[in-house]
Structure 1
Amino acid sequence: MQLKFSVEDGCLIVEMHGELDHHSAEGARIKIDNKIEELGINKLIFDFSGVNFMDSSGIGVIIGRYKKLKDYDGKVAVVNLKPQIKKIFELSGLFKILNEFKNTKEALLNL
C-alpha cells in the first residue's frame, strides 16, 4: 500500500494505491495518524482511485480515523470508489457514518 498525502483547504487528502488489507492496514493507520497529528487537521478525504482490494482490516482503518477525527468535530469522506470497494462500504454500513463523493473537488466543497 502506497500513500500520498496532500493538503487542500485545510483538509488532508490521502491517495491510496494497492491493497488495503491485513498486510498493509497497520502501516497505513500509523502513517495517516502521524500526518493528522503533525498537521493538526480534522478533515480527511480518502481517495480510493488506486485501491483494488480491501478487507475488514481496511474497514478498521477507515472507522478508526473516523472515530479519531469525530473527537475533534472532524469529518471524513471517501472518493473515487471502484464498484467492488463501494459494495464493501455498503455492506459494512460505512455510509451511515461518512459520505462518498465522486471526486476530491466535490468532497472539498461539501466538508
Structure 2
Amino acid sequence: MLTVDNRGNTLIARLSGELDLQVADELRTRLDRALDETGTANLIFNLEAVSFLDSSCLGVILGRYRRISGGNGEMVFVSVPPGVRRVLELSGLLRIGREYATEEEALAEIG
C-alpha cells in the first residue's frame, strides 16, 4: 500500500493496490508519521501501482496537501495510470497538484 523515500526536502510516497475505505486510516497515519519523522516540505505521490482510488483516500491526499501547502511546500503526482488520473481530474486534485511522468522529473522541478 505505501512505501516512502526521503530525498532531501521531499518525501516520495509510492502507493500501490486498491486505495479505499479499508486502508484510508492506515494510509493517513503512515503518511503523517513519515512527514513528522522527515520534516520534509514537499510530497510526491507516485501512483504507478495504484489500481483503484476512492473518495476516502482522495480525502487523505487532500489532507496531506493542506498540511504541505501550509508549510509552503508542494504536492505533485507522478506515473498516474489513466483510470486513476480520471478520478484525480474529477476531484480537482490535478488543479492543485501538478503531474509529472517520473519521480526524477518531479524532483528536478520541486526538490
TM-score of the pair, normalised by structure 1? 0.95
Q: Secondary structure at the match of 1:23?
A: helix
- Aligned mates of 1:99, 1:47 — CA distance in 2: 12
Q: Secondary structure at the match of 1:24?
A: helix
* Correspondence for 1:44: 43
- Aligned mates of 1:27, 1:64 — CA distance in 2: 14
* Correspondence for 2:104: 105
* Unmatched 5+ stretches in structure 1: none
Note the C-alpha offset of 1:10. 2.1
- Give the share of equivalent positions with the same residue, in percent: 35
Note the C-alpha offset of 1:39. 0.9
Structure that is richer in helix per residue: 2
Deviations 1:51-96 (A, max 9, x none): 1000101110110000011111111011111000000011111111
Q: Secondary structure at the match of 2:40?
A: coil
- Aligned mates of 2:14, 2:34 — CA distance in 1: 13
- Aligned mates of 2:25, 2:74 — CA distance in 1: 21
Q: Say if 2:88 is the partner of 1:84.
A: no
Count of residues in correspondence between the two structures: 110
* Correspondence for 1:13: 12
- Aligned mates of 1:71, 1:82 — CA distance in 2: 28
Q: Secondary structure at the match of 2:21?
A: coil
- Aligned mates of 2:58, 2:90 — CA distance in 1: 11
* Correspondence for 2:64: 65
* Unmatched 5+ stretches in structure 2: none
Counterpart of 2:46, as a letter, is D
- Aligned mates of 1:77, 1:93 — CA distance in 2: 13
Note the C-alpha offset of 1:19. 1.0
- Aligned mates of 2:8, 2:29 — CA distance in 1: 23
TM-score of the pair, normalised by structure 2? 0.95
Runs of 4 or more above 6 Å deviation: none
